[in-house]
Structure 1
Amino acid sequence: MPKGPTKRRPQTTARLLDAALETFAERGFYGASIEEICERAGFTRGAFYSNFRNKEALFFALFDLHARRVVDRLAHAVDELEDTEDPVRTVLTRMSALDEAEHRWYLLSTEFTLHAIRHPDTARTLAEHDRLLREEIVHLLGRLFDRLGRRPTVDLDSLARLTAAVHEGSLAQSLVEPERLAPEELAVTYLPLLIDAVSEPSSPRDAAG
């Protein structure tokens, strides 16, 4: 039978993560202090350090939570492909969705990426978390091509990197000029053309048809 503190640990971790995301959104990664995060969560510094080594570890826990939400959202979109008239647009629109949580995450992750570029050890850790997320995206891209009846002619890992670059770059431009550019506009306009360009019908019969 687990002891009380062991059973409470997931709740403590969840509250610290919620408080961290709110504090990072308000103060930025550098501006947010561990003391402020603990105060917002209602815990002591001791509770923080029993769960996380430092702010970087806290960020990577938030990264993994966000990655899981992204994968789940895209997997659900791929599952719905047969029920939509424009399946590629459906997936890309889901990928580019920008609610308040996504807005806050974009600001935090962009700032942290700059931090990682300046610190090689942190960059290596970030690259590993990116790699794990990209593996999930590669799997979903494979499912997407299968549902479309097409076979990729390029490396899916590179394609996942490119789609992520388009997504992040589009989001940045949309946040700067929200009245001129919707978050999904560039992706839904140009990525379908790219998908056709880097794939072919799955069988000669499809090509002949």
Structure 2
Amino acid sequence: MPKGVTRRRPQTRARLLESALAAFAELGFHATSIEEICDRAGYTRGAFYSNFASKDELFFALFDENAEKVLERFERAATEIDPSATWQQQIATVLAAAGPGDRNWYLTSMEFSLHAIRDPRAAAILAEHDAKLRAALTGIVAGIFDRFGLALTIDPDLFARLVVAIREGGRAQSYVEPDRLGLGELERLFLPMVLEAVSTTD
């Protein structure tokens, strides 16, 4: 491959990912064609297929990109929590952290999850990516627990699954009724109770 093309490839890939996420959020994962993504990005189908084998593969690249941003947000929130709050409130605040691009990703990931439920192959790959994200999340939570001399009394992976369930369920309701339920409100309200129930002095 010519050197010029090689240097442009990361930029091309990033532009395709950005355009795909916007299209998925606006039109839906299934309704968005590869042509639509390419048109928005200003590239040809050849550029798409030189970076991704399919829309599914592109989605998982978006998943990994978003997971990195989410974990960075959690880690940053963990260093900025209010020391005057209770440890339960501090941890809940970290787990409720939201970002400006959350809505587009939520719309895209929820639709893909429905697709994966119907497609065992997609489900298996999604489960692998979910597991890596949960493992990283439990690592962050474990660090905060250590700071307070605490330990979970349940399987950390199950705890991470519960946190994800509360976050995703809460966001669904917040996006439907933004004037009634703020983003992260359910996490900040109920996770302290959950944390109290599943933790003990280490």
TM-score range, shorter chain: over 0.9
Gaps of 5+ in 2: none
Q: d(CA) in 2 for partners of 1:190 and 1:52?
A: 41
Q: What letter matches 1:50 in structure 2? A: S
Q: What letter matches 1:9 in structure 2? A: R
Relative to 1, partners in 2 of residues 1:97 and 1:78: Cα closer, same or farther, differing over 3 Å?
closer
Q: Secondary structure at the match of 1:29?
A: coil
Q: Secondary structure at the match of 1:31?
A: coil
Count of aligned pairs: 200
Q: CA deviation at 1:40?
A: 0.9
Asked whether the 8 Å contact 1:150–1:199 carries over to 2, the reply is: yes
Q: Deviations over 1:58-98 (max 9, x none)?
A: 111101010000000101122334x5322543453454345
Q: CA deviation at 1:100?
A: 4.6
Q: d(CA) in 2 for partners of 1:119 and 1:62?
A: 19
Superposed, 1:5-44 pairs within 5 Å as 5-44=5-44
Q: CA deviation at 1:28?
A: 0.6
Q: What residue in structure 2 maps to residue 85 of structure 1?
A: 84
Matched, 1:201 2:201: yes
Q: Deviations over 1:113-152 (max 9, x none)?
A: 0000000000000000001111100101111211222121
TM-score normalised to structure 2 length? 0.92
Q: d(CA) in 1 for partners of 2:198 and 2:131?
A: 22
The CA RMSD over aligned residues, in Å, is 1.7
Q: d(CA) in 1 for partners of 2:154 and 2:107?
A: 31
Q: Which moved more, 1:67-76 or 1:94-103?
A: 94-103
Gaps of 5+ in 1: 203-209
Q: d(CA) in 1 for partners of 2:138 and 2:97?
A: 19
Relative to 1, partners in 2 of residues 1:103 and 1:177: Cα closer, same or farther, differing over 3 Å?
same
Asked whether the 8 Å contact 1:77–1:90 carries over to 2, the reply is: no
Q: CA deviation at 1:44?
A: 0.6
Q: d(CA) in 2 for partners of 1:73 and 1:88?
A: 18
Relative to 1, partners in 2 of residues 1:88 and 1:13: Cα closer, same or farther, differing over 3 Å?
farther
Q: Which moved more, 1:13-22 or 1:182-191?
A: 182-191
Superposed, 1:39-50 pairs within 5 Å as 39-50=39-50
Q: What letter matches 2:114 in structure 1? A: L
TM-score normalised to structure 1 length? 0.89
Q: Secondary structure at the match of 1:200?
A: strand
